[in-house]
Structure 1
Amino acid sequence: MGKFEIKKDKSGQFRFNLKANNGQVILSSEAYTTKPACENGIASVRTNSQDDNRFDRKTAKDGSPYFNLKASNGQVIGASEMYSSASAMENGVASVKSNAPDASVEDNS
């Protein structure tokens, strides 16, 4: 089972990573000014990850595929790493869908 890890960055803001059961980061958040806002972001990932239309599949300037997970209001709530292929990216999307709903939360802030 995956897990969300909350951490505080150097500027004092909160971020989370969703990690698969192998420890690989599959989704990273934007910065939040408060821990409750970060926790709301995690709740939003749990909900929105179950709707394939919320995954915005993109291609970076260097051709690497990646995706953003968006909330119903269109705001990005998480971004993936860069992938080597579109099929690898789709595996990442599938991993977020399967891990996010029941992932535990580890607070390292």
Structure 2
Amino acid sequence: MPLFKIFTDKEGVYRFFLKTDSKHISFISTGCSSKFQCLQKLELFKQQAFNNKCYIRLTTERGDPYFKFIKSVTNEVVGDSELFLNRRMMEKKITEIKKVVPVAKVDTLTYSG
């Protein structure tokens, strides 16, 4: 079941992540100073997840594909994906995210990292 979870990292910054299945974190947001801001960023992600232009495809220095997700209007980075073995797997995950985000549940409890 696809699920969003909110957590605080070691520095006390709020973030959310998306699990597209029960095991793997597919996406993690940039930090927010409050839970409210984190929830706003999560809602923005949900609203814009279908927009292919929001997915900026990149490659690490080692050649691992990944993507950054940006706000469509401001180009502000919302978060990053996991690293993938190849571009085909990355594109498959983007397609999966677009499909599951509308039905993903949001766990509103805040977890500590």
Per the normalisation by structure 1, the TM-score is 0.93
The number of residue pairs the alignment matches comes to 109
Note if 1:9 corresponds to 2:25: no
Aligned to 2:23: 23
- 1:11-59 Cα deviation digits (max 9, x unpaired): 1111111001233111101111000100011101101111111111111
Matches of residues 62-73 of structure 1 in structure 2 within 5 Å?
62-72=62-72, 73=74
Structure 2, unpaired ranges of 5+: none
Q: Which aligned segments of 4 or more residues in structure 1 are displaced greater than 3 angstroms? A: none
The share of aligned pairs that are identical, in percent, is: 28
- 1:64-89 Cα deviation digits (max 9, x unpaired): 11011111210111210111000011
Structure 1, unpaired ranges of 5+: none
Cα distance in 2, alignment partners of residues 52 and 59 from structure 1: 17
The root-mean-square deviation of aligned C-alpha atoms, in Å, is 1.1
Matches of residues 45-56 of structure 1 in structure 2 within 5 Å?
45-56=45-56
Aligned partners of 1:26 and 1:95 also within 8 Å: no
Cα distance in 1, alignment partners of residues 14 and 36 from structure 2: 9
Per the normalisation by structure 2, the TM-score is 0.90
Which one has a larger percent strand, Structure 1 or Structure 2? Answer: 2
Aligned partners of 1:48 and 1:70 also within 8 Å: no
